[in-house]
Structure 1
Amino acid sequence: MVLSLAYRVTRRVLISVAVLLRCEVSKDTELLVLRHENAVLRRQIVRVRYEPADRFWFAALSLLIPRRRWAAVFPVSPATLLTWHRRLVARKWDYSAWRKPGRPPTATAVKKLVLTMAKDNPTWGHRRIQGELVKLGHRIASSTVWEILHAAGVDPAPRRSGPTWKQFLTTQAHGILAIEFVHVDTIGGLKRLYALILIEHGTRRAHLAGVTANPTGKWTTQAARNTLMDLAERGKKVKFLIRDRDTKFTDGFDAVFADEGIRILKSPPQAPRANAICERIIGELRRELLDRMLIVNEEHLRRTLTTYLAHRNEARPHRTLGQLTPAQAETGPPVPVNLADYRIRRISVLGGLIYEYQIAA
């Protein structure tokens, strides 16, 4: 009786153990089936897009599984899982929503003024510009000026560039002489004549250095000597001579000016703007004179140019000089008058091609 009872109890225990063992095997088998199904689905889907909740769930579960098992368990790479986890940690400690407003941005007008100062004054650094703004009554940190220049791609230090042609010509105007040839075809036989024109940058006075049909090196050299003698008589001091690369300007021509300490500045090839003032005079000569009359010979061209240049220097107003004539720019502007109280006298120049107007005495 006792043996029978012991057998039954033992049998029940063994059956229970076997059932438990079969449950574990069954669970493992189910996991294997699910993993295989997951692998099959991965092969069929190009890329799985996970929602933020999915990323949160995977990242949280990764804390419970050894890292060496991540590649086999999770449907993403370990690097992706670590990235998601870092984002969760960063989001937890992100207090940007409670961050107070910082320093207000620099006004657009101030930024524009800073960039304008930097452009107009290539030697100014960020501290020099800051001082200029403080002088105007605007308090600003030098670091702010530095950031404005840096953001605009401008070197905050005074190393931006040398002076432009325009800046150079403006600052050195009273010591610059420009020279250029202008050619004219005569009415008889279409003979080509050449006139050498000089212009003083500072006063805008233009001069005729000579007219010839054969501008040889000897002729241009003598024209250079005559020009220097004329400048010396009028007390003009020249530091620079601007010319183009015309082959008519020989080494002998340059040597005449170099001996007097005058530096020759050759304009770049095919860059007429580098000698813009002289080129403008040539255009003015053609528009106002040469395109409106026929030249007979060399003497006719010389008289015509001499008369026109005298009119230009004494009676023609220039925008660059504030609508004064070169003569008025040297002596001072005229006294304002009421034209209704005066009679205006008209003077014919070059046979009525041009007219001058004066207040009658």
Structure 2
Amino acid sequence: MSQMQAHCSIAGEQASPTRINPRIILVLATWDICSGNQPVMNNEMSFLAKHVRCVYNQHCPFCVCTPTICHFYKEEVLFVWWVFSSVKRCLSFNFQTFLERVLCWVKPSATSLVPGTLADLTKGKLELLAENALLRQQLIILRRQVKRPTYRKTDRLLLVLLARMARTWKQSLFLVQPETLLRWHRELFRLFWKRKTKACARKSKLSPETICLIKEMAAKNRLWGAERIRGELLKLDIRVSKRTIQKYMRPIRRRRPNGQSWKTFLRNHAAGVWACDFLQVTDLFFRPLFAFFIIELQSRQVIHVNVTRSPTDPWVAQQLREATPYGQTPKYLIRDNDRKFGPNFARVAATSGIKVLRTPYRTPRANAVCERFLGSVRRECLDHSLIFHEKQLHRLLNAYTVYFNQARPHQGLGQRIPVPSVPSASLLKPPSRVIAIPMLGRLHHDYRRAA
């Protein structure tokens, strides 16, 4: 050959290394380097030869094109192969991490419209068509389950703006009807035009003294209207239009319905109205018991209570006689449509001068005070006791009636007691210690000042 060839022998521990010229160009053959009959370099080491230009010598498969002869140990070749493999793995890992970061950046957000739109610009037409079909099918499934979703103002605005850009917007709507979208568009145009044509806020030409005078006249003279106040202002040489007076009268006079409210009506007539009803109780042996209550609506005081196993019309009429002794009768008595209230009960009520008011069918709220009391009896007393017989239930309900009338505060009365007890200690004396009086077998307690 024209140029000198350097032979690289790999002979294990017997070969001695020589110095290497800096201009050495290392060329690795793609064939396996053999030492005798055993291969020294396997196929994995041939990776070095795939990335380096190689000049092959048939006599020496591992050669270096340089005037200087150099020898390599087997361990040195293995070290070079290990370095190349490590670099390759590191580059592959870094490239995979970088690719995942790029995909994460490009992936559209599920809760934002703008990043998703920007990400769609990088997609192809077929990919966009497939994604639209997938989203349309999911909307069809969602429409089967959600009957009426909630739309925010931003959602309505975006739907209106996007519908303007699509020619087939009516066919693209799944969650709303086209008429609804058109109504949103009209409301949006109305708000836009109202904001555009809104007059600039001008400073009032009236003096603060005149405004205060108008408000004072409107507050102290409830029967005066805007025109009447305008006449009074003209007497004082103050010229104000009727609409201006009405503007300052609105915060002072709130619009009220004609006549008194239903709450005022009930408060005025509650003193002469009683209500009665039955409460069915089951004893320990699953036998029914019936408790009869009469309650006054104004003070929430329980007027009468009694218990029986067979509530007949004569028995109910007798309870009404016992509840109204010495002519202490109400003007009205509210009852439901139970058959227990028969002709005897109606005769006693008419004789006593009581007008019976029957509630409509299936309207327990028409007798709300009595129904609320029956619920309190169950929650605060009967649900915590075992009833054996009729007399036990009668004693228990009498004890609860005393607690209800004389010790229990009521929300409907402003946390007051229906029948307040006379305070034993004078208000001028310093407050004494608080004592707890057990009631209903320590189920409830009545807290009072010690005498």
* SS in structure 1 at match of 2:226: coil
Pick one of 434, 443, 448 that aligns with 1:344.
434
The equivalent of 2:221 in structure 1 is 135
Match of 1:183 in 2: 280
**Residue type of the alignment partner of 1:290:** L
**1:194-209, aligned counterparts within 5 Å?**
194-209=290-305
Superposed counterparts of 1:6-85, under 5 Å: none
- More RCO (CA 8 Å, sep 6+): 1
* Matched AA of 1:170: R
Task: Give 1:156-235 correspondences, 5 Å limit.
Answer: 164=262, 166-187=263-284, 189-229=285-325, 232=326
How far is the alpha carbon of 1:298 from its aligned partner?
A: 0.4
Instruction: Assess, with a 3 A threshold, how the Cα gap between structure 1 residues 256 and 163 changes in structure 2: closer, same or farther.
Output: farther
Distance across 1 between alignment mates of 2:339 and 2:426: 48
Q: Distance in 2 between matches of 1:324 and 1:236?
A: 24
Does 2:420 match 1:323? no
Q: Contact 2:289/2:309 (CA < 8 Å) preserved in 1?
A: yes
2:396 to 291, 301, 304: 304
How far did residue 186 of structure 1 move? 0.3
Taking the aligned partners of 1:132 and 1:191, their CA distance within structure 2 comes to 67
Query: For residues 390 and 446 of structure 2, what CA distance do their matches in structure 1 show?
Result: 26
Query: Structure 2: which amino acid aligns with 1:216?
Result: T
- Describe how 1:102-141 pairs up with structure 2 within 5 A: 135=221, 140-141=226-227
Equivalent runs, 1:239-254 vs 2, <5 Å: 239-254=331-346
1:202 Cα deviation from its structure 2 partner:
2.1
Question: For residue 293 of structure 1, what is the aligned residue in structure 2?
Answer: 385
Q: Report the secondary structure of 2:307's partner residue.
A: strand
Question: 2:329–2:353: 8 Å Cα contact kept in structure 1?
Answer: no
Cα distance, 1:274 vs structure 2: 1.0
Relative to structure 1, the CA distance from residue 276 to residue 335 in structure 2 (aligned partners, 3 Å threshold; closer, same or farther) is farther
Judging by fraction of residues, say which structure has more helix.
Answer: 1
Aligned to 1:78: none
**CA-to-aligned-CA distance 1:239-286 (integer Å, 9 cap, x gap):** 000111111111211221111211111111111111111111001101
Superposition deviation, residue 194 in structure 1: 0.4
Hey, what does 2:355 align to over in structure 1?
263
Task: Determine the C-alpha separation between the residues in 1 that align with 2:264 and 2:346.
Answer: 25
- State the AA in 2 paired with 1:228: T
Larger radius of gyration: 2
Change (3 A) 1:245 1:168: farther
**Residue in structure 2 matched with residue 127 of structure 1 by the alignment:** none
Give the TM-score of the pair, scaled to structure 1. 0.52
* Structure 2 stretches lacking a partner, 5+ long: 1-201, 206-216, 229-241, 250-254
| C-alpha displacement of 1:311 | 1.1
Q: Post-superposition shift, 1:222?
A: 1.3
- 1:337 & 1:291 partners in 2: Cα distance? 43
Checking the alignment, whether the CA contact within 8 Å between 1:208 and 1:306 is kept in structure 2 is no
Which 4+ stretches in 1 moved above 6 angstroms? 142-146, 334-339
* C-alpha distance in structure 2 between counterparts of 1:281 and 1:357, whole Å: 22
SS in 1 for 2:352: coil
Whether 1:359 aligns to 2:449 is: yes
Q: How many residues are paired up? A: 219
Does the 8 Å CA contact 1:184/1:194 hold for their aligned counterparts? yes
Cα deviation, residue 236, structure 1: 3.5
Corresponding residue of 1:313: 405
Question: Relative to structure 2, which stretch is displaced further, 313-322 or 190-199?
Answer: 313-322
Q: CA deviation at 1:307?
A: 0.6
CA distance in 2, matches of 1:228, 1:342: 40
Check conservation: 1:133, 1:140, Cα contact below 8 A: no
Normalising by structure 2, report the TM-score. 0.43
Corresponding residue for residue 20 of structure 1: none
Residue type matched to 2:360 in 1? P
Equivalence for 2:27:
none
CA–CA separation in structure 1 for the residues paired with 2:267 and 2:364: 17
Contact 1:217 1:248 in 2 (8 A): yes
Q: Could you tell me how far 1:163 is from its partner in structure 2?
A: 6.7
- Alignment partner of 1:172: what SS? helix
Q: Which amino acid aligns with 2:335?
A: R
Amino acid at match of 1:284: S
Contact 2:406-2:419 at 8 Å conserved across structures: yes
The change in CA–CA distance for 1:208 and 1:186 in structure 2 (over 3 A counts) is farther
What amino acid does structure 2 have at the position aligned with 1:181?
Answer: F
Could you list the per-position Cα deviations for residues 79-102 of structure 1 after superposition, in whole angstroms to 9, with x for gaps in the alignment?
xxxxxxxxxxxxxxxxxxxxxx9x
State the partner residue of 1:95.
Answer: none
The answer to whether the 8 A contact 1:240-1:262 is kept is: yes
Query: CA distance change for structure 1 residues 245 and 141 in 2, over 3 Å: closer, same or farther?
Result: farther
C-alpha deviation, 1:322, in angstroms: 2.4
Are the counterparts in 2 of residues 197 and 206 from structure 1 also a CA contact under 8 Å?
A: yes
- CA separation of 1:257/1:318 partners in 2, compared to 1, >3 Å: closer, same or farther? same
| Secondary structure at 1:211 match in 2 | strand
CA contact (8 A) 2:359 2:366 kept: yes
Q: Which residue of 2 aligns with 1:238?
A: 330
1:176 and 1:137 map into 2 onto residues whose CA distance is 34
| Whole-angstrom distance in 1 between the partners of 2:384 and 2:428 | 34
Which residue of 2 is the match for residue 25 of structure 1? none
| Per-residue Cα deviation, 1:37-84 (whole angstroms, up to 9, x for no partner) | xxxxxxxxxxxxxxxxxxxxxxxxxxxxxxxxxxxxxxxxxxxxxxxx
1:257 and 1:163 map into 2 onto residues whose CA distance is: 29
Following TM superposition, by how much is the alpha carbon of 1:355 offset from its aligned partner in structure 2, in angstroms? 0.9
Superposition RMSD on alpha carbons, in Å? 3.7
Cα distance in 2 for partners of 1:342, 1:331 equals 16
